[in-house]
Structure 1
Amino acid sequence: MITKYTIPSDEELTAFIDGELTAEEAARIETLANEDKAVAERLEFLARASLPFEQAFAPLLSQAPREKLEMMLAAIPREGAKPGSTQALAGRRRFLGALAASLVAGIAIDRAVLGIGKGFSTKDENSEWRAVVADYISLYTPETLAGPVPGGDVQAAQLGAFDEKLGLSLSPEAVALPGIDFKRALLLRYDGKPLAQIAYLDPETGPMALCIVRSDAGPKAPDVESRKGMNVVYWSNGTHAFMLIGHAAADRMTAIADGVRGRIDA
């Protein structure tokens, strides 16, 4: 039985994500996630990592040595195992069976899982760079961006570095966000390619950033997602992919992104 003093195991959180807990157990997990930031973050991580493994490995499941795997799984001691908890492992057992079949077939597991991840990415194929940016921006605090707002000439000089490396000419006016302070423009590197980051400080919600990379994926209309407790609006044109990330509400982030997108594309 989970209590408010017990940190749920990954097994329990995974069962919660898969909808395999009783109503009482699910309610306890929800309460813990609302009260404990560490539990909420672990739940978010496991949810993002969840993939439709059973469907993806369906052709291999028929070849997997199920009975042997079930015996092996039953023999593995599980810390804190409780009567009636075997249902919570059912989905993962099917996945282990698929992995066993993959090994028999000589498939490298890490590459297989990566391939499935790409195949089931319904949002867009360039989501990985947004995940990296979100991890980085999540470390920012208002103190990270403390200090005076740089003058227009300093902003222009910082943005000028993007022109040569990214092939993108931006003015301070084009990237200005209403009511939000421009703090700095940095040229970073991701996967061997330049990544532009313009950092802002919103007096209401804290750090915000507009990030840009080259992209040949073609134009994509703005879409919204949540990463690391922040809202992300992302889009692309024929040459670059963009993301605006921050702690503001999704509708406000969308409105801000619409404004800057119109100026950049003009």
Structure 2
Amino acid sequence: MTTKHTIPSDEDLTAFIDGELTAEEAARIEAIVNEDKSVAERLEFLARANLPFEQAFAPLLAEAPRQKLETMLAAIPAQQSAKSNSSPAFATRRRFLGALAASLVAGIAIDRAVIGIGRSFAPKDENSEWRAVVAEYISLFTPETLAGPTPPKDVQTAQLARLDEKLGLSLSPEAISLPGVDFKRAQLLQYDGKPLAQITYLDPESGPMALCIVMSSKGRKAPDLESRKGMNVVYWSSETHAFMLIGHAAVDRMTAIADGVRVSV
């Protein structure tokens, strides 16, 4: 038998994984996990993380036709070496992001070589890996994931202050407000040992949307567009940070929203 309950946020589930909740709160979330399959799956996703890179792709690389692959990959932009694990252990969330990035990069490289796409490739984008990880994560979001009222301004300000502290930003609710899109939460994640700011929204027309930011020393880059996991991504860089806006909205709308964000953040 199930009971009505408030679906825990990712921050609640992360705190549960890390043992940061009170006994009462932990018991409440454990009960919800036992009753709600979708919450249990999200908890497992967030928790399956302590996967070491060095062990991850070891079985696959041991069986791979190394010489053939090296010849095939020599014709395309070099990708970061990566390894994967077919059955990750239940652990913390942080290293899972790294392993996920590695598997995505390896998959992209092999797909390009084997399929033999008959076109030239753009120069390697040093920031593409973190966008792949974010897209994989955001693709799990549904409108129900972000259901609930928009937090009041003081709560938004407090959440953004945590991001400012870690990423050297100066964000305000007004600066990250998106036209016609509801703010839901701002949370601090981690990618490749660096803080990653994720500001999530719910667009009444197209569903989940997110503005994500990491520190970057690759220099200024004009806005560009790509598609990942069935979503449109507008990405750009300043002298100190890399940004991406990702969502299911049409390209024209995503581009227009991103143009507004670039002016304010």
TM-score normalised to structure 1 length: 0.56
State the match for 1:157 in structure 2.
158
Deviations 1:29-83 (A, max 9, x none): xxxxxxxxxxxxxxxxxxxxxxxxxxxxxxxxxxxxxxxxxxxxxxxxxxxxxxx
Aligned length: 161
Query: 1:98 Cα deviation (Å)?
Result: 2.6
User: Within 2, Cα distance between the matches of 1:231 and 1:241?
Assistant: 17
Q: Distance in 2 between matches of 1:96 and 1:194?
A: 35
Give the structure 2 partner of residue 10 of structure 1: none
What is the CA–CA distance in structure 1 between the aligned matches of 2:185 and 2:233, rounded to whole Å? 19
Deviations 1:9-38 (A, max 9, x none): xxxxxxxxxxxxxxxxxxxxxxxxxxxxxx
Larger radius of gyration: 1
Q: Is 1:137–2:138 an aligned residue pair?
A: yes
C-alpha distance 97-261 of structure 1, shift in aligned 2 (>3 A) = same
The answer to whether structure 1 residue 220 and structure 2 residue 224 are counterparts is no
Distance 1:219 1:146, change over 3 A: same
Q: Which residue of 1 aligns with 2:176?
A: 175
User: 2:170 is matched by which residue type in structure 1?
Assistant: S
Q: Which is helix-richer, 1 or 2?
A: 1
Separation in 1, partners of 2:157, 2:223: 26
- Quote the sequence identity (%): 75
Partner of 2:102: none
In structure 1, how many angstroms separate the alpha carbons of the residues matched to 2:249 and 2:159?
A: 25
Aligned residue type for 1:130: R
CA-atom RMSD in angstroms: 2.7
For structure 1, the 5+ residue unaligned runs are 1-94, 103-109
1:204–1:165 CA distance, 2 compared to 1 (3 A): same
Q: By how many angstroms is 1:200 displaced? A: 0.1
In 2, distance between residues paired with 1:209 and 1:187?
13
What letter is aligned with 2:264? R
Q: Which position in structure 2 is the counterpart of 1:122? A: 123
One-letter code of the match for 2:68?
A: A
For 2:159 and 2:180, the matched residues in 1 are separated by 21
Question: Using the alignment, how far apart are the partners of 2:178 and 2:215 within structure 1?
Answer: 22
- C-alpha change, 1:149 and 1:99, in structure 2 (3 Å) is closer
Which 4+ stretches in 1 moved above 6 angstroms? none
CA distance in 2, matches of 1:184, 1:100: 44
For residues 150 and 70 of structure 2, the distance between their equivalents in structure 1, rounded to whole angstroms, comes to: 57
Structure 2 partner of 1:98: 68
Give 1:44-83 correspondences, 5 Å limit: none
Counterpart of 1:98, as a letter, is: K
Change (3 A) 1:111 1:203: closer
1:124 positional shift: 1.5
